[in-house]
Structure 1
Amino acid sequence: MPLLTIVTITFNAEKYLDRTLESVQRALAHIDPASLEYMIIDGGSKDNTLAIAQQYDFITRIVSERDKGLYDAMNKGLRFATGQYIWFLNAGDEVYDEEVLQKLNKQLHSDPDICYSDAMFVREDGSEVGLRSKFTPHDLPTNLRWQDFKFGMKVCHQAFIVKKSLAPEYDINNLSADIDWEITCLKKADTIVSLHFVLCKYLLGGTSVQNHKRSLTDRFKVLRKHFGLFPTLFNHFFIFWRGYRFVQKNGKYW
């Protein structure tokens, strides 16, 4: 059994996939390759995504077929994964540096239920914008609890690694299913470890206005499920006020 499974979801990702795979390849040079399982779950790409993936011999498995969207693909990754831990890294995102897997493996051998860290925001040209905890209103708690999500996504999924045995499937009909997934994992976990290094580079990208509006509605549904209707209504007043203050202070909301 591998210690860790990394799953990358792709669909017509030829523009961004190389940067993800090259970052993993650099980091693999510092660990026993047998400790890592790497999977590509593809939605039936029509471009050169699969041809690019086939150039990297460390990839354990490539599955390419039509799916019902991102979370359906992530559920496939969960079902196929054989590693003790699972890490979802999107096409375009990167392992932060070549020492990450070495440091991560050392931490995973202490048998935590969940590990998490900050993420470095980067532009398409690779230049760094800054840490997510500094360029969004979401500060990163030292001792993460599921209750910390009452104001939204505390840790992006690219910086959240969990034991597969604790991981539920994603709700494929909810655009904020990643928040629900992380909260559910945290509720099940006994040992939650904050890593003292950055796990990943998070590629900034646009979301359509339509999807963004729906994701906000779906986020409300998730938070209501875990925190109740009236606390969620109250907390959303704070979320909107915090976002307004953040934009006034920083000029942007990344």
Structure 2
Amino acid sequence: MPLLTIITITFNAERYLRRTLESVKKALAEIENPDSVEYLLIDGNSTDQTLAIATMYGELITRIVSEPDKGLYDAMNKGQSLASGRYLWFLNAGDEIFERRTLHNLLKALNGGADIYYSDAMFVREDGSEVGLRSVFSAHLLPQNLTWKDFSLGMKVCHQAFIAKKSIAPTYLTDNLSADIDWEINCLKNSNNTQYLNRPLCRYLLGGLSVTNHRKSLMGRFTVLRKHFGLLPTLLNHIRIFWRGFIFARRNGKYW
């Protein structure tokens, strides 16, 4: 059994996929046992050059699945069900492993056997230039003793910097653009041992589904938080969320 399964979801991702695959290729070159990592690419039946690009990196991709799906989180569920690794790491098209030695160091940490490992994420622009760490350049401070209750004000940990055992991971909601928040909360509720890593795991490409569908994403977030925290606390917390965002934006500018 591989120790880790990395899952990349794609749909017409020819513009961004190569940067992700290059980062995985460089990281895999730094580990002693390549068989300890499984790499799945789950594609939504792309009509551009996504699959042609993926085929060029066939030596590092364990399995490519390309077929119609019901959206991002349906594809994530498919990847999760196919994964044979003990741990799951979702790294989508455009995102990158932070640096060459990140995977090497991560595998050493995973041998510790915790249920969840998480870290900060580096925000980057499309040209690759760094914006800064998510915990600094957004209003989401990153606690070093994370629990599910830390999500009362929204997404506390970037999804690409959150690694969970498959055995504790639930399926994703498929009708909610904030399904990643729900998934992380449920993972944390199932975790007996959650470990903070003091080095970033990923470079997160600014943009994405939740930004291009911002209003729908916010409604989805409210639904998820109400489910876990109750209606009244969620209403009050959203007042705090909007006020916090307003103050942060006034001081630092828009960050999404």
Instruction: Determine helix, strand or coil for the equivalent of 2:255.
Output: coil
1:118 and 2:120 are equivalent in the alignment: yes
Give the TM-score taking structure 2 as reference length. Answer: 0.97
**Counterpart of 1:193?**
195
Q: What is aligned with 2:246?
A: 244
- State the match for 1:22 in structure 2: 22
The letter for the 2-side match of 1:175 is L
Partner in structure 1 of residue 35 of structure 2:
34
**Does residue 70 of structure 2 align to residue 68 of structure 1?**
yes
Provide the alpha-carbon RMSD of the alignment.
1.1
Alignment of 1:1-254 (within 5 A): 1-31=1-31, 32-56=33-57, 57-205=59-207, 211-254=213-256
Distance in 1 between residues matched to 2:112 and 2:132, nearest whole Å: 30
Aligned residues: 254
Structure 2 CA distance for aligned equivalents of residues 199 and 83 of structure 1: 18
**Secondary structure in 1 matching 2:131:** strand
Structure 2 portions without partners, runs of 5+: none
> Does structure 1 retain, via aligned residues, the 8 Å contact 2:97–2:202?
yes
Matching residue's letter, 1:46: T
TM-score, length of structure 1 as denominator length? 0.98
Shift of 1:206: 5.6
Q: Once the two structures are superposed, what CA deviation does each residue of 1:4-53 show, in whole Å capped at 9, x if it has no partner?
A: 00000000111111100110110111111100000000000111111111
* Unaligned 5+ runs, structure 1: none
Give the 3 Å change call, closer, same or farther, for CA 150–171 of structure 1 in structure 2: same
Of all paired residues, the percent bearing the same amino acid is 67
Check the 8 A contact 2:2/2:35 in 1, yes or no.
yes
Whether the 8 Å CA contact 1:246–1:253 is kept in 2: the answer is: no
For the 8 Å contact 2:5–2:37, the answer to whether it is kept is yes
After the TM superposition, which segments of 4 or more aligned residues of structure 1 sit over 2 Å from their partners?
206-211
Shift of residue 214 of structure 1? 1.2
Three-state SS of the structure 2 residue aligned to 1:50 is helix
Q: Distance in 1 between matches of 2:237 and 2:53?
A: 44
Deviation of 1:121 after TM superposition, in Å, equals 0.5
